[in-house]
Amino acid sequence: MSTTDPIVSKPLHVTVNGIEQPVEDIPEQLMMLDYLNEYRNLTGTRFGCGIGVCRACTVIVDHEDGRSEEIRTCITGAHYFEGKSIRTVEGHATRDENGDVAKLSEVQQQFLDHFSFQCSYCAPGFVNAATVLVERLQREPVPRSQLEATISDALESHLCRCTGYVRYFRAVRAAVLATPGTTVEG
């Protein structure tokens, strides 16, 4: 066991769900998941495997050019997100002045309507992955005949132990089809 490497901290600037977070010193070793869970008390982003396989810890990084991407926070250091803007599962729904959910996002509503999850531990990862997919398809629509394959490609790496994926996939298809401009004929 190494006897060196004391904990070194430095300030972290990050925007979460449109809100600039208070700047505080965060250990360099810390994963983003731990930052969200332990420092921001945003526990909707969940620890599943700790090695980036199950994807329950997925968040969305929004780039300045309008693109978004999924990032696994259990294997990505908090300081990788320095200066970045991310969305977590807590940030998708519209909320009223009391912070209560006023309107779910299309993806969330379809998951709800389709009874897509049981325990829901994996749901945050699926919400983020499906949202990234829908937004991508708005920019880059696919032929309708390729939609199921496109969904499969986008969600294949996300693990669910309860529901066997069926209701997630059908819900994402419904969300895509309910979103104008995501598919073209063919």
Partner 1 sequence: MPQFNQSRRRFLKHSVVAGVSTYVASLASPSFAALFEQDILSPTAQAWRPGTGMKFRLDGIAKVTGSKVFARDIRARDMPHWPDTQAHAFIIRATRCDRRYQGIDLSALEAAGLAPDRVVTAEDMARDNIQVPEYYGPAFFLPAGETPLYLGYPVALCIYHDFARFAVAKARVRAAEDVVVYGEQTPLPEKPPYGAFRYIRVGGDTPYAPDRFSALQETVLYPDFRKRHPVWPQALENGKDSQRAMYHANQLAEQLDMPPDDWLVFEAEYQTPYIDHFAMEADNANCWFDAEAGDMHLVCGSQSPAELVERMAELHSASTFASGRLFLHPTYTVGYGSKDNSIFPYYGLIAGLYGDGHPVRLANDRYEQFQATMKRHPFTIRNRLAVERETGKFQIFKQNLTANGGGRANFSNSVAFVGATAAQGIYYMPNSDLTATAEFSRMPEAGSMRGYGTIQTMAATELMVDEIADHLDMDPFELRLANVFKSGMKNTQGAIPAGHLRGEEILHRARQHEIWTQRAARKQAFEADHPEQRYGVGFACVQKDFGHGAEGVFSEVRLNADGSIEVRNTGAEMGTGYSTSQAAVVAQWLGQPANTVHTAETEWDDLAMTSSGNPYVMSQSEQEAAQTDPRWTPMLQQASSASNSSYYLSFPTIEAARVIFRHGLWPVALEYWQRGIGGGQAAPYVVREQDARWEQGKLTANGMEPLSLAFLAERAHATGRVTGAMAHAFNRWEWSRADYRIDGTSENLPLDGLAVRYGDGASQQKKARMTSKRGFELLTRSNPYFPPTQRNNAGVTYYSACATLVELAVHTGTGEVSLLNHHSFLECGNTIVEELVSGQLQGGLAMGIGHALYEDMPLYEDGPGNGTWNINRYHVPRASEVAVWEQSADILPPLSRTDPPKGIAEVVMIPVVGAIGNGIAHAIGHHFHRLPITPERIREVL
Q: Considering only 63-71, 75-83, 131-139, 155-163, which stretch makes contact with partner 1 by CB under 8 A?
A: 155-163
Looking at residue 105, what DSSP letter applies?
-
Looking at residue 66, what DSSP letter applies?
S
Residues 151/133, Cβ–Cβ less than 8 Å: yes
**Closest approach of partner 1 to the CB of residue 43, in Å:** 4
| Residue 117 binds partner 1, judged by CB under 8 A | yes
| Residue 75 binds partner 1, judged by CB under 8 A | no
- Residue from 19, 119, 177, 178 binding partner 1 (CB under 8 A): 119
Residues 87/124, Cβ–Cβ less than 8 Å: no
- Residue from 61, 113, 146, 174 binding partner 1 (CB under 8 A): 113
Contacts by 183-186 with C-beta closer than 8 Å and gap 24+?
183/137, 183/141, 183/142, 183/143, 183/144, 183/147, 184/141, 184/142, 184/143, 184/144, 185/143, 185/144, 186/143, 186/144, 186/145, 186/146
| Residue 140 binds partner 1, judged by CB under 8 A | no
| Residue 77 binds partner 1, judged by CB under 8 A | no
- Residue from 50, 145, 177, 178 binding partner 1 (CB under 8 A): 50
Say which residues have a Cβ less than 8 Å from residue 129's Cβ, sequence separation at least 6.
55, 58, 70, 154, 155, 158
**Closest approach of partner 1 to the CB of residue 168, in Å:** 8
| Residue ranges that bind partner 1, judged by CB under 8 A | 1-7, 9, 27, 29-30, 34, 38, 41-51, 53-54, 56, 88-90, 92-93, 101, 104, 108, 111-115, 117-124, 127, 148, 152, 155-157, 159-169
